[in-house]
Amino acid sequence: MAQAARILKTKVGIIGGGPAGLMLSHLLSKSGIENIVIEMRDHETISNTHRAGILEAQAVSMLTDSGVEGRVLTHGDEHAGIDLRFNGESHPLDFRELVDATVTLYAQNEVFVDLAAARARDNGDVRFNCEVTEILDVETSTPKFRFTDAEGTLFEVHADVIVGADGSRSFARRQMPDSVKQDFKVTYPFAWFGILTEAPKSSPELIYANSPHGFALISQRSETVQRMYFQCDPNENVDDWSEDRIWSELNQRVAGPDGFELKTGPIFDKTVLGFRSFVRQPLSHGRMFLIGDAGHTVPPTGAKGLNLAFADVKVLFEALDSFFSTGSGKLLGGYSDLALKRVWKAQNFSYWMTSMLHTPVDADPFMAQRALGELETVTSSRYGQQYLAESYTGWPHS
Ligand code: DHB
């Protein structure tokens, strides 16, 4: 006989306990709105999953203003610019001077650790190692989902609202019927090879390099640990890459007449990160709402992913707060349209940065030269620099 499910009643059932799901849960709890977070992976796996590291000032404020431990301020590094490097030359952009804004370099897995700690501190109901198997009745006012915990016990969550915060392979997203949804996608003929290395910083600011050998990004994690990426084949096998091979590949992509060279050290993490542009429209169906990568993914160039997820959280949190305090679903009904405005701005920015900085292996020579013309246009004009700086540091939250 099928196991009887244990019933859990709550106001908001959140599927996915990454940064987006936990941030929403944290804000809801602070407003006295009961919620449960169900996450498939365990805490350790998420803490060790290396992702991007740039936070817009608004994302930092969402953490610090809501009382998440201030490690982002003590351990994060404020950056007031980037270096766009092409034709072997550096072109520094000073965000503070251009648009009076900065960003903070603070790894996404640390954001997760801080949010998970804040949820634990505040007795939040966050369950790791649990698999959601079914989502039911989202077209009614009593949506539900079922999950099994690590022991195999079956639960059924009865909520007023369900949120899909379950990442780019979202189970929640897949439950939306074909008749109501539209997907938009771009795939790219390359991926990023990401490394972590024990080495000193090679330059004060992050370097985004366009070179005939392909793109490279020189980022940082601390005084002694650096994060770097280079454009590679999506099917690249990390085991084929010795440390020497990685350093010579990275160095030839940042090389120039100024003799710039990277400071090297032992490499302790190597991963190939595939990427694509993707948007699901709408970001809601009945009483189910998608946030973050569950609803849209951007290529990593420009690090908009987590920032966009937090912007979704802000819009959805305000709509839920209004719904539970006034009973009016007006803001909830507008969530998808409002969130999608920013999503498409970020899609445009991420696509633009990606295509301007990467050279596909079989690039049409005209297109490769055109991208250099675009980089020259952006860096030689204050308006161009401001356009990039404003997008990179983040448009004001709505
Ligand atoms: C990092 C990643 C990015 O995609 C980016 O644009 C900047 C920094 C990072 O991991 O540090």
The verdict on the CB of residue 301 being under 6 Å from ligand 1 is yes
Nearest to 272, CA basis, from 309, 308, 241, 307 = 241
The verdict on the CB of residue 231 being under 6 Å from ligand 1 is no
pLDDT digits (tens, 9 = 90+) for 229-240: 999 999 999 999
The C-alpha atoms of residue 208 and residue 90 are separated, in whole angstroms, by 9
pLDDT digits (tens, 9 = 90+) for 125-174: 999 999 999 999 999 999 999 999 999 999 999 999 999 999 999 999 99
The C-alpha atoms of residue 397 and residue 49 are separated, in whole angstroms, by 27
Q: E-strand spans in 203-275?
A: 206-210, 216-220, 225-232, 267-273
pLDDT at 175: 96
pLDDT at 69: 80
pLDDT digits (tens, 9 = 90+) for 174-204: 999 999 999 999 999 999 999 999 999 999 9
185 is catalytic: no
* pLDDT at position 3 over 80: no
Domains of the chain with bracketed CATH: 6-78+104-184+277-353 (3.50.50.60), 186-275+362-393 (3.30.9.10)
Residue written as tokens 């969530």?
Answer: 335
Mean pLDDT of 5-29: 98
Taking the CA of residue 51 as reference, the ligand 1 atom at the shortest distance is: 10
pLDDT at 51: 85
In total, the chain counts a number of residues equal to: 398
Question: Furthest-apart CA pair in the chain: how many Å?
Answer: 74
Nearest to 19, CA basis, from 144, 105, 118 = 118
pLDDT digits (tens, 9 = 90+) for 367-384: 999 999 999 999 999 999
Cβ atoms of 103 and 95 within 8 Å: the answer is yes
pLDDT at 1: 54
pLDDT at 169: 96
- Ligand 1 centroid–CA 160 distance in Å is 37
The verdict on the CB of residue 143 being under 6 Å from ligand 1 is no
pLDDT at 50: 86
DSSP state for residue 49 in the 8-state scheme? -
Mean pLDDT of 277-297: 98
Residue written as tokens 């439950």?
Answer: 175
Mean pLDDT of 238-261: 97
Q: What is the mean pLDDT of the chain?
A: 97
pLDDT digits (tens, 9 = 90+) for 52-80: 889 999 999 999 999 998 899 999 999 99
- Reported pTM: 0.97
SS3 229: strand
* pLDDT at position 248 over 70: yes
* pLDDT at position 113 over 60: yes
> Which amino acid, one-letter code, is at 162?
I
Mean pLDDT of 327-351: 98
Q: What percent of the chain has pLDDT over 70?
A: 99
- Best of 217, 277, 298, 304 for a ligand 1 pocket test (most atoms within 8 Å of beta carbon): 217
Cβ atoms of 283 and 336 within 8 Å: the answer is yes
Give the H/E segment covering residue 276: strand 276-281
Q: Which two tokens stand for residue 54?
A: 């740039």
The phi-psi region of residue 191 (left if phi > 0; otherwise alpha if psi is between -120 and 50; otherwise beta) is beta
The verdict on the CB of residue 194 being under 6 Å from ligand 1 is no
The verdict on the CB of residue 191 being under 6 Å from ligand 1 is no
pLDDT at 210: 98
- Best of 219, 349, 352, 357 for a ligand 1 pocket test (most atoms within 8 Å of beta carbon): 219
- φ, ψ for residue 124 (rounded to 5)? -70, 150
